[in-house]
Amino acid sequence: MKKKIKTPIALRVVGWLFPKVEKISPWLAKRWFVRIFFTPVRYKMPYGEVEMIRKASTYKISYEGKQVQVYEWGKGTPVLFVHGWMGRGTQFRKFVDEFNVAGYQVVAFDATGHGKSDGKRSHLMEFAGIIKALHARYGSFKMIVGHSLGGVASMMAIHDGIPTDRLIMISTPTLAHKIVDEFMNRLGASGRCKDYFDAYVVKKFGKPFEQFTATYIAQKLRKIDLMLIYDRDDREVDLENPEALLDVYSDARLVTTSGLGHTRILKDEEVVKTCLQFLEQSELEPAT
Give residue 41's pLDDT.
86
Quote the distance between the C-alpha of residue 229 and its chain's center: 13
Domain residue spans of the chain: 1-37+176-212, 45-172+221-284
pLDDT at res. 3: 46
Rg of the chain over all Cα atoms, to the nearest angstrom:
19
> Which pLDDT does position 17 carry in this prediction?
83
Distance between CA atoms of 147 and 266, rounded to whole angstroms? 8
What per-residue confidence (pLDDT) applies to 88? 96
Q: What is the largest CA-CA distance in the chain?
A: 63
Tell me what pLDDT residue 1 has: 39
Is the pLDDT assigned to residue 169 strictly greater than 60? yes
* 70 pLDDT tier (thresholds 50, 70, 90): very high
User: According to the model, what pLDDT value does residue 248 have?
Assistant: 97
Q: For 224, list phi and psi in degrees, rounded to 5.
A: -135, 170
The per-residue pLDDT for 186 is 85
Mean pLDDT of 259-280: 96
Lowest mean pLDDT among 32-36, 39-43, 238-242: 39-43
Distance CA 73, CA 52 (A): 9
Write out the H or E segment, with its range, that includes residue 75: none
Which is nearest to 110 in space by CA: 159, 45, 34, 166? Answer: 45
With bands split at pLDDT 50, 70 and 90, how would you rate the model's confidence at 202? very high
So what's the pLDDT on residue 221? Answer: 96
pLDDT of residue 34: 93
Least confident of 183-187, 258-262, 277-281: 183-187
Rounded average pLDDT over 250-270: 96
Mean per-residue pLDDT, 101-110? 97
45-172+221-284 has CATH 3.40.50.300 classification = no
- pLDDT at position 22: 86
pLDDT of 284 strictly over 60: no
- Cα distance between residue 133 and residue 61, in whole Å: 9
* Dihedral sign, Cα of residue 209, residue 212, residue 214, residue 217: positive
pLDDT one-digit tens code per residue, 217-230: 999 999 999 999 99
pLDDT confidence of residue 10 = 64
**Mean pLDDT, to the nearest integer, of 257-275?**
96
**114 near 83, Cβ under 8 Å?**
yes
Other C-beta atoms lying within 10 Å of the C-beta of residue 218:
22
In this prediction, residue 282 has a pLDDT band, given cuts at 50, 70 and 90, of low
Please state, as a whole number, how many other Cβ atoms lie within 10 Å of the Cβ of residue 55. 12
Residues in the chain: 288
Confidence check: pLDDT of 67 > 90: yes
Instruction: Quick: pLDDT tens for 11-33.
Output: 677 777 888 888 899 899 999 99
Is the confidence at residue 288, as pLDDT, over 50?
no
Which one, of 252, 275, 236, 29, lies nearest residue 155 by Cα? 252
When the pLDDT of each residue in the chain is averaged and rounded to a whole number, the result is 92
Per-residue pLDDT, averaged over 180-196, amounts to 90
